[in-house]
Amino acid sequence: MKSGVFTVLFGQSPLEQALDKIQEAGLQAVELGTGGYPGNTHCNPGVLLDNQQELVRLKESIEQRGLEISALSCHGNPLHPNKEVAQQHHNDFVQTVRLAEALGVETVVTFSGCPGDSEHAKYPSWSTCAWPPDFLEVSAWQWSEKVLPYWREQSDFCRQHGVRVAIEAHPGFVVYNTETALRLRAETGSNIGVNFDPSHLYWQGMDPVECIKQLGSTIYHVHAKDTSIDKRNTALNGVLDLKPYDQELDRSWIFRTIGYGHGLQEWQDIISALTKVGYDGVISIEHEDGLMSVDEGFQKAARFLNQALIREKAGEMWWA
């Protein structure tokens, strides 16, 4: 396995400067944002697909530093009931797939999306319980009328371009856990897999190691992001928390730099589980820690991840 980083955290810096920092930190890969919620500061498909010279320059900037592209990411909601939002995020996805083909990148990362509760909805509607039965009816309608038709079409489109999709399970979207991730794959196409992000599982009360064992070869890409659970706030209010992310003191959970939610042994167990199921790709740092600056969070995450990967490798060599 290799260590990498999702470069959107360096959105305020020129790409070359960001790549230098990544190389100096001892990482081996970059995940580039190409649209959707993360934006496309360093990698704009609309520009690159129309300009071969810029496309070559991007590849050379990365390769000259001994780095590789692990994935292109356009996390969005192409199923949004607001047709303008849905169309923009769909266009981002389509262009990202085409750019991935042009760059020779195998994996595109995104969200499953979430429709509204009907054709007349204004906002997405995410069902979280089975009663009253209205929620089950909404979920059934969403999957049959919106989710499955869309992703079956995108699966065919991606296959034509030699690209696979890594869906990141995230609450608020129809794919938010192991079961829904496997359902989407089973009902749409074998080139629909998973971008495995433990941070979204921790705050739902899930066990990342057990999830890895269940997901197995469907894991196409991995994020390194942690979550810290506040025991008191969770004991009082549970894990469903609508308070803004910047109210860290009052929230039941917050995103953290890896190592600040769970320790080295936990992350080594995650890496070992990934090894057991045959994953040999990139673990990509995603920084969303509101208690650390970009540079502090990145540097600490890079050291921690590299240490965990070195220990895992040393263990493999010892047993071999």
Q: Would the pLDDT of 132 be above 60?
A: yes
Of the two residues 318 and 75, the one the predictor is more confident about is 75
User: What does the chain come to in residues?
Assistant: 320
Q: Would the pLDDT of 213 be above 60?
A: yes
Q: What is the pLDDT of residue 311?
A: 80
Which residue from 58, 1, 3 is spatially nearest to 25, judged by alpha carbons?
3
Q: What is the pLDDT of residue 312?
A: 75
Q: What is the pLDDT of residue 81?
A: 98
Give dist(CA 84, CA 209) in Å, integer. Answer: 39
Q: Would the pLDDT of 287 be above 80?
A: yes
- Domain residue ranges in the chain: 2-225+254-319
The whole-model pTM stands at 0.96
Q: Would the pLDDT of 316 be above 70?
A: no
Q: What is the dihedral of CA 201, 204, 207, 209, to 10 degrees?
A: -10
Q: What is the pLDDT of residue 197?
A: 98
Mean predicted confidence (pLDDT) in 60-83? 98
Average model confidence (pLDDT) for the chain?
96
Q: Would the pLDDT of 320 be above 50?
A: no
Residue pLDDT, tens place only, 88-128:
999 999 999 999 999 999 999 999 999 999 999 999 999 99
Amino acid, res. 91: N
| CATH class (in words) of the domain with range 2-225+254-319 | alpha beta
Which residue from 102, 112, 113 is spatially nearest to 43, judged by alpha carbons?
102
The SS3 call for residue 104 is: coil
Residue in the block written with tokens 């607001």: 82
Q: What is the pLDDT of residue 315?
A: 63
Phi, psi torsion values for 44, nearest 5 degrees: -95, 105
Distances (CA, A) of 308 to 49, 93, 213, 258: 37, 33, 19, 11
Mean predicted confidence (pLDDT) in 137-158? 98
Residue pLDDT, tens place only, 93-102:
999 999 999 9
Mean predicted confidence (pLDDT) in 251-273? 97
Q: Would the pLDDT of 63 be above 70?
A: yes
Answer left, alpha or beta for residue 17, where phi above 0 means left and psi between -120 and 50 means alpha: alpha
Answer left, alpha or beta for residue 306, where phi above 0 means left and psi between -120 and 50 means alpha: alpha
Give dist(CA 17, CA 66) in Å, integer. Answer: 15
Angle formed by the axes of helices 52-63 and 15-24, nearest 10°: 20
Mean predicted confidence (pLDDT) in 234-263? 97
Sign of the dihedral defined by the CA atoms of residues 19, 25, 29, 32, in that order: negative
Greatest CA span in the chain, whole angstroms?
60
Q: What is the pLDDT of residue 167?
A: 98
Amino acid, res. 265: Q
Q: What is the pLDDT of residue 313?
A: 73
Q: Would the pLDDT of 60 be above 90?
A: yes
Cβ neighbours around 233 below 10 Å, total:
18
Mind giving me the DSSP string for 209-236? Answer: HHHHHHHGGGEEEEEE-EEEE-HHHHHH
Give dist(CA 134, CA 147) in Å, integer. Answer: 18
Displacement of CA 87 from its chain's centroid (Å): 21
Q: Would the pLDDT of 314 be above 90?
A: no
Which residue from 43, 120, 109 is spatially nearest to 71, judged by alpha carbons?
109
